[in-house]
């Protein structure tokens, strides 16, 4: 089974009711694709992602993100340019998780609007 199909099937099966999530950030947080925060003295410090969400779904999204980051330099559309700049600035691992986070938000939008995704 192709990776994208496996990821999509697993996400739809795990997310029984998309209306539980108010926005894409909540879905990404449920999957633990957002950094943990430590607040001290009113100043937030961003830490790494936690490992508390669905490990299988997070792994699928991160593997997909890793593939996208690896080939982003070959394409010149707006999204791949953003990924390439992020990769140069922050490194492979952080850009991989950022892409996985963005993909989770796209999944939320698609499931909420019941539409299909066609990348321009």
Give pLDDT tens digits for 58-94: 889 999 999 999 999 999 999 999 999 999 999 999 9
Supply the DSSP string of 58-96, one letter for each residue.
HHHHHHHHHHHHHHGGG--SHHHHHHHHHHHHH-HHHHH
What whole-number distance in Å separates Cα of residue 18 and Cα of residue 11?
Answer: 10
Token pair 């609007």 is found at 113
| pLDDT band at 32; cut points 50, 70, 90 | confident
- Amino acid 56: pLDDT: 87
- Amino acid 69: pLDDT: 95
Q: From 54, 50, 72, select the one nearest 14 (Cα to Cα).
A: 54
Q: What is the pTM of this model?
A: 0.80
């Amino acid at each position: 089974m192709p990776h994208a199909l496996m990821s999509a099937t697993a996400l739809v099966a795990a997310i029984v009711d998309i209306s539980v999530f108010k926005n894409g950030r909540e879905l990404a947080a449920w999957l633990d694709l957002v950094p943990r925060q430590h607040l001290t003295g009113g100043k937030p410090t961003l830490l790494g992602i936690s490992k508390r969400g669905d490990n299988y779904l997070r792994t699928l999204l991160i593997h997909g993100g890793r593939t996208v980051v690896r080939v982003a330099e070959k394409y010149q559309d707006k999204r791949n340019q953003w990924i390439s700049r992020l990769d140069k600035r922050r490194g492979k691992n952080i850009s991989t998780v950022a892409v996985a986070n963005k993909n989770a938000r796209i999944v939320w939008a698609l499931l909420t609007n019941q539409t299909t995704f066609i990348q321009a």
